[in-house]
Structure formats: structure tokens, C-alpha cells
Structure 1
């Protein structure tokens, strides 16, 4: 009986160091004064992607006719996009809808007078300088609903890292300022956490213009701010 229990006892003892080593090391207690700083770092970038919503709305006496006309016009729109150099991966269907149209009268049930079909695409333009001309080409191809563009930075990671460095430097400088004013000095950083980050700008409204106007639509990308906010806790002594 004793021999059969020995391996079990040894196995249990062998597990003890492993369990102890898995425990987290308790944080060092603060001996001095805690200072919490919130700082934001920013950097600028020119947007290199424009995203728009382009739709076709058609009406017909019957549902099948409305959908068929809509599909024909949307096929021309997609062909125009591809001809303009927009990659297929940058063209995505976002909504397809079909709704009856009613005529209302007093004290009588509504009467269906026809059907309205709609099909909307989300389109990404990676050449922002040409996006205005492409929007005009879409209208010529049959688009009668446009929303946007939303100007974006395609790969904001490098800009976000620059903003992070700027935010931490600002927090450190501010901590030195507070410490000096209080007759103390910064001993160490206790913790760093992050909030915020890159958010694309709200869409710019595109106004559909009359075909007789000669001027092309122009989209000016300007600059966008990429900001990161950090919360840094310091120990002062």
C-alpha cells in the first residue's frame, strides 16, 4: 500500500514548484507620490483613399421590370468603373432593395402604383486625384445617388506609431514639469495605457450637377490628423 502511494505523493510534490512559478509577481509598492498624466500625440498625413457610395434607383410598373432595369443600369456603372481603372476588389455591393410605391386617398386603402428598385455600391478610389472625374463618369453611366467621399489613410499604422512616440514624450515632459514645480523628481513610470487612434474624416457631400456644366468635380484631399492619447502614471520622489 505504501509503495503504491509513493509515486502519487512524488508527483504532487513535483507540481508545487510549477504552480508557484506560474503566480504573478506582485507589483512594487509606491514609496513616493503618484502622478497621472493624459497626453495626446498627433501627426499629419495626406489621405490616399477615397470611399464613396454610388447607387442606381429605378422605377417601373411591376417589380420584375424595376429590378431588370436596375440591373441593366448597374451593369453599365460597374463597366464604367472598371474602364476607369478601379479594381474589382474595390467595388462591393452594399445594398439591394425593392419597394412598392403607393397612391393614398382619403378613406380608401392605398393602391400600389409601381415599384422602386435600388442597388448601391461602395467604391474605393486609390487615386484620389482622379476620384472627382470618376464620379462624373458614374453619373454619366446612370448613377443617380451618390454619398461621400470619405477620405482615408490606407495604412495609418506608421502615422499612429509616430503619434504614440509624440504622446509619450509629451507625457514625460509634463511629468518633469510637475515634478520640478513640486520640488520632486521623476523616479519611474508605473504604467502606460492607450486610447483613441486614427478615425477617418466624415464624408464630403457630393453635389450632382447638370450635364451642361463644363467644369469637372474636384476632390481636394487636404491633410488629416492622426492622434493617439496615452495615460501614463509616474512615481515621483
Structure 2
């Protein structure tokens, strides 16, 4: 009798648990099938341009020698003169950074003997010392390049024109992007015969101007005595926004 009663209780408990599970699943299903709030998603883009107020410049001193020490001494002597000239031109210590330094052996491949390749021979060394500068007074840029070359710079990289604090320009681009998104949303909803509601979400993606290589120097021993002509142009900053609006019923 007790065994039968116990079995009945187990069956009732299982049936109750199943009913609760079905009820919960039904509630979840009901939630899932509720209609979503109608929305419209638009993309807006805004651009703003401004003249650069700073240039990032690379200058390199490359020297060769029969020994690593000889090449290093020659490179260091030339770079010392370049650094003194840069500081005398008003370039602050915080705007001068060694961005690359390397010592490489130079090899020569001997002729094969009796058809057997010989190992390469070290015939000297090359030392390269590269500076990256921030030039905040663009009027000094051409003369600075000219003097650096005369003092021993014989390789260089890129000149990148940029802006130290483009916050105001970015704000202008953001406003234009949002205005474009709003105009698109109004046009679309009017064409569809629905009413535009409140903004539900805004996300932003901003793009800084890509570095523009202006010139490259390589063994520039014969550069003109006058200052190198440079042209800064404008930098264009782009902001895109993704805006989600509700649609009123």
C-alpha cells in the first residue's frame, strides 16, 4: 500500500512539474511573438577640413665603415650635429624621438672555387640612425630639411601634415553627419507615409586623414641651397554616424 501511494505521489509531482514547464515555455513563446517596435536605421556622413598646423618628419643618417665601430662613430658624429641644429631651430626635446637604429653587416659573395660556393664575406658595416620630428612651426620646415641634409642627413622618410588638436574640426564633422542622417530619415519616412519618432540609438565611426607621403630623400647630397619648398594643403576629417529612429504608429 505504501509503495502504491509513493508511486502516485511521484506521478503527481511529475505531472505538476510538466505543467509548470509548459506554462513557462508558453510565456516565453508569447514574449517572443510580441511585435517589435518599428524602427528605421540610417547612415550619415560629415566632413570638415582645416589647414594643418604640424608636420611629422623623418630624417636618417646612414654611414658605412670597414668596422662596426667606424660606421657607428661616423653616424653618431653626424647625428650629433643634426640634433644641435634642430634644437637651435626651436624644436623641443619632446618633439624629437629616435624611431629606428640599426647596424647591419655588408657582405660580398666570393666566386665559386672548383664549382663549390663559398660562404659570403663581411666587407663592412652600415649604421642607420633615424629621427622622427614634430615640426610645429611649418614655416621652418623647408629650411630645417635643407640644413639637416647639409649636416649629414642622407636618407629620409615621409612628411605627414597633421593637426595637433583637431577637436573643433571633428565637432563640425559630427554635426554634419547627424544632420545628414536626420535629413535622410525624414525623406524616407515622408516617402513611406509614416511618422518619424524619437532617436533610439546613435553610433559613431570617425576617420582621421591618412598620412600623405610628400617627399622622400635618398642620398640627397646635391639638394639646392635654398629652403626646400613645401605645401601643406588641408586635412579632411570624416565622421559617419549610424542612427536608429523609432517610427510612430
TM-score higher than 0.5: yes
Unmatched tracts of structure 1, length 5 or more = 1-28
Question: Which residue matches 1:15?
Answer: none
CA 1:53–1:112: 2 relative to 1, 3 Å: same
Q: Is the 8 A contact 2:64 2:71 kept in 1?
A: yes
TM-score (norm 1): 0.83
Matches of 2:91 and 2:129, distance apart in 1: 18
Alignment of 1:16-35 (within 5 A): 33-35=38-40
Kindly tell me the number of residue pairs found equivalent between the two proteins: 209
| Pair 1:144-2:154 in alignment | yes
| Alignment check: 8 A CA contact 1:49 1:152 kept | yes
What is the distance in 1 between the residues matched to 2:193 and 2:208? Answer: 37
Q: Which has the larger radius of gyration?
A: 2
Return closer, same or farther for 1:200/1:127 CA change in 2, 3 Å cut-off.
farther
Partner of 1:226: 237
Residue in structure 1 matched with residue 129 of structure 2 by the alignment? 119
CA RMSD after TM alignment? 1.8
Change (3 A) 1:214 1:63: closer
- Aligned-pair distance for 1:162? 1.3
* 206-215 vs 63-72, greater mean Cα deviation: 206-215
Change (3 A) 1:67 1:214: closer
Shift of residue 214, structure 1, vs aligned partner: 4.8
Compared with structure 1, are the counterparts of its residues 133 and 46 closer, same or farther at alpha carbon in structure 2 (3 Å cutoff)?
same
Contact persistence 2:209–2:235 (CA under 8 A): no
Are 1:73 and 2:70 counterparts? no
Gaps of 5+ in 2: 1-33
Which residue of 1 is the match for residue 208 of structure 2?
A: 198
Q: 1:103/1:191 Cα in 2 relative to 1: closer, same or farther (>3 Å)? A: same
Shift of 1:104: 0.5
Alpha-carbon distance in structure 1 between the residues aligned to 2:142 and 2:35: 59
Aligned equivalents of 2:36 and 2:194: distance in 1? Answer: 13
Which residue is equivalent to 1:164? Answer: 174
User: Corresponding residue for 1:99?
Assistant: 104
Question: What is the CA–CA distance in structure 1 between the aligned matches of 2:95 and 2:226, rounded to whole Å?
Answer: 26
User: How much has 1:82 moved relative to structure 2?
Assistant: 1.0
Q: Which string of whole-angstrom CA distances, capped at 9 and with x for unpartnered residues, describes residues 72-111 of structure 1?
A: 1100110111121111111101111111111112311111
Structure 2 CA distance for aligned equivalents of residues 232 and 139 of structure 1: 52
